[in-house]
Amino acid sequence: MTRSRVSVLTIAASLVGSAALAQQAPPPFIMATYYRCDYVRQARADTLYKQVIAPLLDRQIKAGNLTAYGFSSHRIGGVFRRLETWTAPTLAKLIAAQDAYDADLNKANPKAGAEFDAVCGSHDDYIWQRTAGSAPNPSAPSPAFSYSRYLTCDMAKEGEADLIMDSGLAEMMNKHLAAGHITTWGWFAHNMGGTIRRILNWGGPDVMAVLNAEEMISNDIAAHPLGNAFTSICNSHTDYVWKAEVTSP
């Protein structure tokens, strides 16, 4: 057994003991829809989201089903052109929001829904749980840009990656937060969807801020005593930079 794995298991034992003493609210659920869109017409999807979709989602926040939503455009990364996220306190409320929103859209403006689907004609769905990250700051503006590192992990050991994040890398991320290199960060665990198992995400005011943070964060992970153990578990990734187009009030 390697020294890094012994360290992870030691951390796990201590966290299990402390977890028995801590009563924490369950992590929120995030439904993320990754859209493939017509490059020429994709700006029309942004307009439809602002004018038609966002007001209907505001109703789901008022109803208590959602706590937040967002719509982002591709800035750097792979094939997905738009990202939609809905956040809810429970899976049941997330599904209730989806059902109610679909009914509202079909009643209020089905033509706009069909037009949006024609522009962004296919998508991949995931449900994530935000298990670690910076504390919410309602008085701070939402980050204009976010950097998402989508990690493929060994499913048999991904829980160890979570322990490493909780016990060591979270402190590193919080140092970058305190230094102003990033404005938010989060660690997301797979609940359902495709092959990606974890996301490390951070936000900033502009593209260069999140790109500069990427270099610092990657270097710090590599230098961390548990960095090798972390990257051996989550050993490949695809990165995106997203630009916020619509955020919930």
17-29 pLDDT, tens digit each: 444 334 466 899 9
pLDDT of residue 141: 84
Tell me the average pLDDT of the chain. 92
Query: How confident is the model at residue 24, as a pLDDT?
Result: 62
Q: First vs last Cα of the chain: how many Å apart?
A: 50
CA distance 186 to 194: 20
- Tokens standing for residue 236: 């490949």
Cβ distance 115 to 42 under 8 Å?
no
123: confidence class by pLDDT, cuts 50, 70, 90: very high
Tokens coding 199: 């996301």
One-letter identity of residue 20 = A
Q: Partners of 24 in the beta sheet?
A: none
pLDDT at 197 over 80: yes
Instruction: Give the rounded distance of the alpha carbon of 200 from its chain centre.
Output: 7
Residues sharing a CB contact under 8 Å with residue 230, sequence separation 6 or more, in sequence order: 161, 164, 165, 169, 221, 224
Instruction: State the pLDDT at residue 33.
Output: 98
Strands 68-76 and 145-152, bridge-based pairing: unpaired
pLDDT at 78: 97
How far apart CA 230 and CA 160 sit, in angstroms, is: 8
Q: Determine the pLDDT at residue 185.
A: 98
pLDDT at 211: 98
Q: How confident is the model at residue 15 (pLDDT cuts 50, 70, 90)?
A: very low
Query: Is a pLDDT exceeding 60 seen at residue 119?
Result: yes
Amino acid (1-letter code) at residue 210: V
Mean pLDDT of 201-206: 98
Statement: residue 194 has pLDDT above 80 = yes
Structure-model confidence comparison of residues 93 and 20, the more confident one: 93
Q: Is the pLDDT score of 42 beyond 80?
A: yes
In sequence order, what DSSP letters do the residues of the chain get, joined into one string? --HHHHHHHHHHHHHHHHHTT---PPPPEEEEEEEE--TTTHHHHHHHIIIIIHHHHHHHHHTTS-SEEEEEEEEESSS--EEEEEEESSHHHHHHHHHHHHHHHHHH-HHHHHHHHHHS-EEEEEEEEEEEEPPP-TTSPPPSEEEEEEEE--TTTHHHHHHHIIIIIHHHHHHHHHTTS-SEEEEEEEEESSS--EEEEEEESSHHHHHHHHHHHHHHHHHSTTHHHHHHHS-EEEEEEEEEEEE--
Res 13 pLDDT > 60: no
- The CATH number that domain 129-243 falls under is 3.30.70.100
> Where do the CATH 3.30.70.100 domains begin and end in the chain?
29-128, 129-243
Whether 138 shows a pLDDT value over 90: the answer reads: no
* Assigned fold of 29-128: Alpha-Beta Plaits (3.30.70)
Tokens of 56: 């209907």
For residue 195, the model assigns a pLDDT of 97
CA distance 160 to 5: 9
**Of 205 and 12, the one with more pLDDT:** 205
